[in-house]
A and B are shown apart, each in its own frame.
Chain A
Amino acid sequence: MAEDEKPEEPWEHDLEDPEPFHHESAHPAHSRRRGVPALYGIMAEFDNPTALVAAARSSYEAGYRRINGYSPYPIEELDEAIGFKHTTLPLIVLIGGILGGLGGFFMQYWMAVINYPLNVGGKPLNSWPAFIPITFECTILAAATAAVLGMLALNKLPQPYHPVFNNPNFALATRDRFFLVIEANDPKFTHGEAMQFMRTLGARDVSDVEV
């Protein structure tokens, strides 16, 4: 209802464009294709991992950069084939580990030296060798937690909806089908050219993916 009261943008009066979807797509790749639902990308479907990796490699070599592969199980070469090099995850894990280690050590230091000093066997209050096992455990705990949470955050998970689910065959990605998507927000992406290119990859099917 609030939608109706909003002053409408001039392009929304385009007569060729009666679709209800159009106002969602401010992206140039979509505005060029008014009249159809907004485009997420183009998906090619393969029978085996080797074909997927080969296709990913040729897409990367053709200059596409926003490529993604989907497969039932991890394929070691795939991340390299789609030009996926670095993530910030190792850094997040390292920072988590360092903070966990420092936190674990100073928690014990604070308890043993400041909060509740107790003479154990005549040893100094700051008996650091005794703190090491718990410091180590806290390092691992924090690093592992940072790894899981950081992975979820970087993957934008949990994600109950994703455009690729619109392709009816995509359910096979958890069984025996392998998919390659060139996303529409790729700088090099134009619909016609990308479609033509993907048809040369030897896929069993190539189709649009709607948002």
Chain B
Amino acid sequence: MVSYAPPASIARFQRLALIVGIVFTALFVVGYFLDHDQFFHSYLFAFSFWAGIAIGSLALLMLQHLTGGGWGFVIRRVLEASTRTLPFVALLFVPIVLGAHSIYSWTHPEHVAQHPALVLKSKYLNLPFFSIRAVVYFAIWFLLTFFLNRWSKLQDTTAERQFNKRMQTLSGPGMVLLVFTVTGASIDWFMSLDPEWYSTIYGFVFVASWALSALAFVIAVMASLAKHEPMNVIVAQLHFHDLGKLLLALVMLWSYFAFSQFLIIWSANLPEEIRWYLPRTKGGWGVIAVSVIVLHFAFPFLFLLSRSLKRNAGKLVLVASLILVMRLYDLLWMIAPTWTGEHFRVSWMDVVAPIGMGGLWLAAFARSLMNRPLIPINDPQYESVLQQGQAHAGH
């Protein structure tokens, strides 16, 4: 019997991530004393990326409990490890509340007073209620994460079948709750950057893009785990094939939501709506917009059509990495023009912040990945997935 204990390479990776994280976070903190407004702007940008991977992992975890299948079985422990970083993500959220004055114009009473719409919105957009809502979102995500991880662990120790049923039963309503809370969180944290502007599909853009970045991240993790013991025994080509198909589906889903928002606003061309796109389609921001269309949609879409690419972990991970990089570009394009307008300007902190926060988050992720075996061997799917993997490995 294989033990599926995490390999020692994860510990080495964790040390490296921690060192990178600490060095870049230190650099980033220097930025706070140079320009503390920019510090919080870059901080929100970095948070939108790394929080998205943890929260998107929760979505994928519940998705695979609902659908079943070998692809979900082999990535389950990676997803669970990623969701267990949520307490750390909640901690990362605290500076956003503390620096809200540098980030959100609706926290300035004199700004609100000049805009009648904001006066009306101030019952919703005020700092105490904003913080309470954030607590509610995190509380719901914690509860889902807590039970899904606890039952998964109990399944390992007791080998009882009932835990599968429980995880499945929780995942249905959990998925609905997740879509509502991510919609709320994305409206609060990112759409309210321009408090007069609104888009009804904005929440879904984040649901799709966070799930997409989580999946791209998981593919990258699986590609490196599958090379070595113990995961090379069980992870086969066909799992990467399935993950690649899901990646294609999520690329298309994200494109569909993002384009729907653009098409509707572009068609109506109303002054209060189109103003969000005007600075973002000019000059340097316009170049980023085109690069997002080409490198975030067109290239991954065309590459992922190929069957042989999806079955090749080495090539699939290149597409997944491209998507992760483009997720950063897209988030920067959505967030940064709030303060720069149509003048294209990227601060050095926009580079340092995601690396610093990423190092720390990856160290937290690696730590929780080391806590449990990489495969839930008491899951009823174990035997069939193992057979599949071996049948394919032999040829």
List 8 tightest A-B contacts by C-beta distance, closest first.
A77-B391, A129-B266, A129-B263, A130-B267, A80-B395, A121-B269, A132-B259, A90-B307
**C-alpha spacing A94/B301, complex, angstroms:** 13
* Per-residue B-contact encoding for A128-140, CB less than 8 Å = 1, 0 else: 0110110000000
Q: How far is the CA of A66 from the CA of B379 in the complex (A)?
A: 40
Counting contact residues on chain B (CB < 8 A from A), the size range is 10 to 19
Cβ of A76 within 8 Å of any chain B Cβ, yes or no, is: yes
Asked if B263 contacts A76 (CB within 8 A), the reply is: no
Q: Which residues of B contact A129 (CB under 8 A)?
A: 262-263, 266-267
Other contacts beyond A121-B269, A130-B263: 18, CB < 8 A? A53-B391, A76-B238, A76-B388, A77-B391, A77-B392, A80-B395, A90-B307, A94-B305, A121-B267, A123-B269, A129-B262, A129-B263, A129-B266, A129-B267, A130-B267, A132-B259, A132-B263, A133-B263
A33–B193 CA distance with the chains assembled, in angstroms: 84
Chain B nearest CB from A71 CB (Å) reads: 15
Residue in chain B with minimal CB distance to A81: B395
Tell me the residues in window 195-240 of chain B with beta carbons closer than 8 Å to chain A beta carbons.
238
The residues of B that contact A130 with a CB separation of less than 8 Å are 263, 267
Chain A residues near B266 (CB-CB < 8 A) = 129
Q: Contact residues of A with B, CB < 8 Å?
A: 53, 76-77, 80, 90, 94, 121, 123, 129-130, 132-133
**Mask for B359-395, Cβ within 8 A of A = 1, else 0?**
0000000000000000000000000000010011001
Q: How far is the CA of A186 from the CA of B269 in the complex (A)?
A: 66
CA distance A46 to B219 in the complex (A): 38
CA distance A90 to B304 in the complex (A): 13
Q: Which residue of B lies closest to A120 (CB)?
A: B267
A157 CA / B122 CA spacing, docked (Å): 66
Inter-chain contacts of B388 with A (CB < 8 A): 76
Per DSSP, chain A at the interface is helix
Closest to B238 in A: A76
B381 to chain A, nearest CB (A): 15
Q: B257-288 vs A: 1/0 string, CB under 8 Å?
A: 00100110011010000000000000000000
Which chain B residue lies CB-closest to A90?
B307
What residues of B have a CB within 8 angstroms of the CB of A133 in the complex? Answer: 263
Residues of the B chain whose Cβ atoms lie less than 8 Å from the Cβ of A132:
259, 263
- Could you write out 15 A-B pairs with CB less than 8 Å apart? A76-B238, A76-B388, A77-B391, A77-B392, A80-B395, A90-B307, A94-B305, A121-B267, A123-B269, A129-B262, A129-B266, A130-B263, A130-B267, A132-B263, A133-B263
Return chain B residues, CB-CB under 8 Å to A53.
391
Question: B263 to chain A: which residues have CB within 8 Å?
Answer: 129-130, 132-133
Nearest residue, chain A, Cβ from B266: A129
- Residues from chain A with a CB closer than 8 A to the CB of B391 are 53, 77
Smallest beta-carbon distance B271→chain A, Å: 13
Q: For B259, what are the chain A residues with a Cβ–Cβ distance below 8 Å?
A: 132
* Cα(A80)–Cα(B263), bound, Å: 44
Q: Please, which residues of chain A bring their CB within 8 A of the CB of B307?
A: 90
Closest to B307 in A: A90
Bound-state CA distance A80–B236 (Å) is 15
Chain A residue nearest to B388 in the complex (CB): A76
Residues of A within 8 A of B267 (CB): 121, 129-130
Bound-complex Cα distance A74 to B305 (A): 22
In the bound complex, what is the Cα–Cα distance between A132 and B264 (angstroms)?
A: 12
Residues of chain B with a CB closer than 8 A to A123's CB: 269
The smallest beta-carbon distance between B298 and chain A, in angstroms, is 13
Minimum distance in angstroms from A127 CB to a CB of chain B: 9
Instruction: Enumerate chain A residues within 8 angstroms of B395, measured Cβ to Cβ.
Output: 80
Closest to B308 in A: A86
> How far is B388's CA from A80's CA once the two chains are assembled, in angstroms?
13
In the complex, which residues of chain A have a beta carbon less than 8 angstroms from the beta carbon of B262?
129
**Shortest beta-carbon distance from A141 to chain B in Å:** 16
CA distance A6 to B262 in the complex (A): 74
Nearest-neighbor residue (CB-CB) of A133 within chain B: B263
Residues of chain B within 8 A (CB-CB) of A90 are 307
**What's the Cα separation between A134 and B71 when bound, in Å?**
33
Chain B residues whose CB sits within 8 angstroms of the CB of A76 once the complex forms: 238, 388
Residues on A with beta carbons closer than 8 Å to the beta carbon of B269:
121, 123
CB distance from B138 to the nearest CB of A (A): 37
List B residues 310-340 near A (Cβ within 8 Å).
none
A130 to B259, CA, bound (A): 11
Q: Which residue of A lies closest to B260 (CB)?
A: A133
Report the minimum CB–CB distance from A134 to chain B (whole Å).
12
B48 shortest CB reach to chain A, Å: 26
Enumerate chain B residues within 8 angstroms of A77, measured Cβ to Cβ.
391-392
Contacts of A121 in B (CB 8 A): 267, 269
Residue of B nearest to A94 (CB): B305
Nearest residue in B to A122 (C-beta to C-beta)?
B269
